[in-house]
Amino acid sequence: MRKIYLDNAATTPMDVEVIDVMQQSMVANFGNPSSTHQFGRTAKSSVETARKNIAQHFNVTASEIIFTAGGTEADNLILQNAVTNLGVQTIITSKVEHHAVLHTVEYLKETYQIEVVYVPVDEVGSVNLQELDALLSNTSTKTLVSLMYVNNEIGNLLSLDEVANICKKHDALFHSDTVQGIGHYPIDLQKTPIDFIAASAHKFHGPKGVGFAYFKKGFGIKPMLHGGDQEKGARSSTENVHSILGMEKALDIAVSTMDTDAKYLTELKLYFINELQACFPTVAFNGLSSNLEKSSYTILSTRFSVQNELLFFSLDLAGIAVSGGSACQSGSNGGSHVLNAFLSPEHAANTSVRFSFSKNTTKEEIALTIEKLQELLS
């Protein structure tokens, strides 16, 4: 049975070149970066070179990059640091954020009695930036805005420039979970003044369990983990050398092929949309998912006018991997918190499928998926 992987927003397969780099590091670069002998110094040098190279892709300095175990830890480190170290008393976010943000701000609210305000989203799940401006105009305490760049379920793109300008106007800090955008869209942090971003290597064909947080220069960092002085005191724990080098290589590849990949995947996504509309006249697309300019070319959130609880199971049996939303909440009986935030109860009850693509996805795979959907939904 042929296997078709259309869940790249959950994770991507590692590039062969990334695996090669990691394997070589495991064999020859096994020293502890905190050790002072030559093996440790070699490992430390490799980590710091990777930090410098990763920083250059975002036009920042190496000292502004803190390596983490992934995007969730990066979001937690940023948000908790904002409250416990930078004096933030109000966090403005939205109901369509990743749970790495939503659950963390709820924890901070309960633990530190900060104020959490949710900016409204419109009928297609996009953040209302006029309301954000109004909320910041009426906020007198030190405030951080936390809004994701690419929504991981519906693919809506946030205008980072516009939000950054709004935050600057009101002297608010700006954090963006950019996990779904890095490696797919260019981000120049000198041109777009974001204070904090989060990244995860496995979203751009790198290894799982490694990512980074960006802290704009000038912000001190209070660690969440204690017991060592790694990452310049920002994160105690021996650095995951092999994965850091794998992330460096994956990002290098992603940036070098970004324009080619974007063109290919945009055409592939358009083909899928046209085929779905031809075969399923009542099909709908959640959020801005079908808008090629306002949504990620890697994500298509599709809503069928039926309730088919076995669709995902049936597709899996046919060798086709898809998702109903975030992989982090698979099996949740409450449905997608993102879709529930802007769809009517009637539409939210219908079967929604998130198809997500990578440079490895082929047109033939899309055609075979359409055939199987016709068979299952006829």
Return the ∠ at Cα 204 (arms to 203 and 207), rounded to 5°: 75
Reported as half-sphere exposure (CB side, CA atoms, 13 A), residue 248 has a value of: 24
Q: How far apart are CA 361 and CA 251, in angstroms?
A: 19
**Does residue 167 carry a catalytic annotation?**
no
| Catalytic choice (26, 310, 317, 328) | 328
Residue 141, Cβ density class (10 Å: 0-12 exposed, 13-18 middle, ≥19 buried): exposed
Could you tell me which of 340, 364, 339 has the C-alpha nearest to residue 354? 339
Pick from 105, 12, 106, 68: nearest CA to 214: 68
Question: Cα separation of 326 and 236, whole Å?
Answer: 29
Tokens describing residue 168:
């600057």
* Beta-bridge mates of residue 90: 115, 143
| Cα–Cα distance for residue pair 25/228, rounded to 1 Å | 23
- Per the rule left: phi > 0, alpha: psi between -120 and 50, beta: everything else, 209 is left
Strands in 64-218 per DSSP E: 65-68, 90-93, 115-118, 143-146, 173-177, 196-200, 211-215
The catalytic site residues sit at 328
